[in-house]
Structure 1
Amino acid sequence: MSSRGPVSIGRFLEPVGKTGFARLADRSRRLMRLGRAIEALLPLEFSGRVRVGNLSSKQLILFVESPEWSARLRFHLGDLKRRLAREHGLEVAQVGVRVLPPERPQPRRGRPRLGDEAARALEGTATSIGDEKLAAALRRLARHARPKTP
């Protein structure tokens, strides 16, 4: 790590000698352009539902969000291949359609809430134990479940 401070990641992505990062950035840009071209060639109902996964050795892989969209897209693949060749000069021998796994829900942010039943259990435990320090700590914890009154 340099003591000069942060370094822009753009420095590593510059195509000087086509480093691994530069090749990766170039490929990413090409796939993004291809994705925009494919979206323009497909009917509007597919807008935002189809993503380019890969393009290699004349095989195009597309990702969709559900099996339903996969079935719908398959009906348009012949026309898509013809239009890619005619309008973009891209000869694709095969198009694979894959369904993306569902996105996991984002974890809740913020403090977890203590329920009333848990607070009552903590208070009951605090009254039944002999250790006053532990009992006081349990009572403080139980207070977090109760809304503060003015």
Structure 2
Amino acid sequence: MAYTVVSVFPQTVDTEEIKKDLREKGFSEANIIVSKSNVEAGLNHYQEDEKTRGFFDYVFAHDAEMLDAYRTHSVGKNNVVVYTDDLDKARLAKSVLNEKGALEVYRKPSDQQKDIPEGMTEQEYDGIIAKAKHNIYFLDPERTYSPNSRGMGDTMDDLGSKD
């Protein structure tokens, strides 16, 4: 089975050092994705770019709580995503990322049955997803968040307004 390890870091973290440590542990450059968030300071209501939305929707398709948690915590921060072919490598990647200061993204409490893959604890599942790498759903090196518009995007006449 293939796994995707998703982590969130503050913008101030040295992502090149994280990538170097992962490569030293045997992960290939092609399986390490670093994505930095580009968002206006103080922006509360935003819209993700299409590629970012597709990535999170694909990875967390069957877990709305985790989707919301990672989507919310990733705004304005860096994401490091590691793809592996087995659970032991996924655990190693998560360990390296945690040692480098990955932020803990909490799952909202729920009474619902959690669909955790066999052989994983709930704590491991909070950062390791049993999904394969999919070229369509990569995070770009830079994610863009733009403000939601309440008005017209293109004015049809000189009386149009974005408010």
Q: With the length of structure 1 as denominator, give the TM-score of the two structures.
A: 0.28
Larger Rg: 1
Higher-helix-fraction structure: 1
Structure of greater relative contact order (alpha carbons < 8 Å, 6+ residues apart): 2
Give the structure with the larger strand fraction. Answer: 2
Structure 2 length as normaliser, TM-score? 0.27
